[in-house]
């Protein structure tokens, strides 16, 4: 199964794909989609849609794991991210790719076993689980890889629990 993790945004969107087979994880590809700040916002959203569509066509993920949004101190930035996230969800929905959403604490719990792990701890554990030589850069890509791992570890756990019942 190929899981595509997405760290949503509108300036930088992180993506990280992993292949999962028989409890083994293998990094497939990671990177970012970037939009220029001088473009009008609606053009940035179209760019995200076009680039995400091309990415989905090239990668053929079985599922998408994406961060669930929460609004902290800066609601204006959060609204922009929500627009970008909506465009990403639309591109996936058009291709009928199942979408799974996780809160940051769920990602930390699934990857590190501790819901209050630091960003560096999550990145280092991601590196270890995928046998990478270094932590993925930029941070948006590293976060997206952790999103994919979260789904791989959570989905496996849920399936095993269902099979026992």
Domain at 58, CATH number: 3.30.420.10
Q: What is the pLDDT of residue 160?
A: 45
**DSSP per position, 93-137:** HHTT--EEEE-HHHHHHHHHS-TT--HHHHHHHHHHHTT-SS--S
Half-sphere exposure of 110 (CA within 13 A, CB side): 21
If phi > 0 it is left, if psi is from -120 to 50 it is alpha, else beta; for residue 31 that is left
- pTM, two decimals, is 0.90
Residues labelled as active-site residues = 7, 67, 140
Contact by Cβ (8 Å): 20, 1: yes
- What range defines the domain where residue 155 resides? 2-164
Rounded Cα gap, residues 109 and 153, in angstroms: 10
Residue 161 host element (H or E): helix 139-164
- pLDDT tens per residue across all 165 residues of the chain: 999 999 999 999 999 999 999 889 999 999 999 999 999 999 999 999 999 999 999 999 999 999 987 655 555 567 888 999 999 999 999 999 999 999 999 999 999 999 999 999 999 999 999 999 999 999 999 999 999 999 999 875 554 444 444
Which segments within 8-68 are labelled E, that is strand? 12-21, 24-34, 63-67
Question: Which of helix, strand or coil describes residue 15?
Answer: strand
Q: State how many domains the chain has.
A: 1
């Amino acid at each position: 199964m190929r899981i595509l993790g997405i760290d949503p945004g509108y300036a930088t969107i992180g993506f990280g794909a992993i292949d999962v087979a028989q409890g083994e994880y293998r990094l497939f590809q990671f990177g970012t989609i970037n939009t220029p700040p001088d473009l009008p916002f609606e053009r940035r959203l179209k760019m995200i849609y076009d680039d995400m569509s091309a990415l989905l066509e090239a990668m053929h993920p079985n599922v998408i794991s994406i961060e669930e949004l929460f609004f902290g101190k800066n609601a204006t930035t959060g609204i922009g991210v929500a627009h970008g996230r909506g465009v990403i969800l639309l591109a996936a929905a058009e291709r009928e790719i199942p979408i799974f959403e996780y809160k940051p604490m769920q990602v930390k719990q699934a990857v590190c076993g501790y819901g209050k792990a630091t960003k560096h701890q999550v990145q280092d554990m991601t590196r270890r689980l995928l046998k990478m030589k270094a932590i993925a850069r930029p941070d948006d890509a590293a976060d997206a890889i952790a999103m994919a791992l979260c789904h791989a570890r959570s989905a496996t756990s849920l399936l095993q629990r269902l099979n026992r019942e």
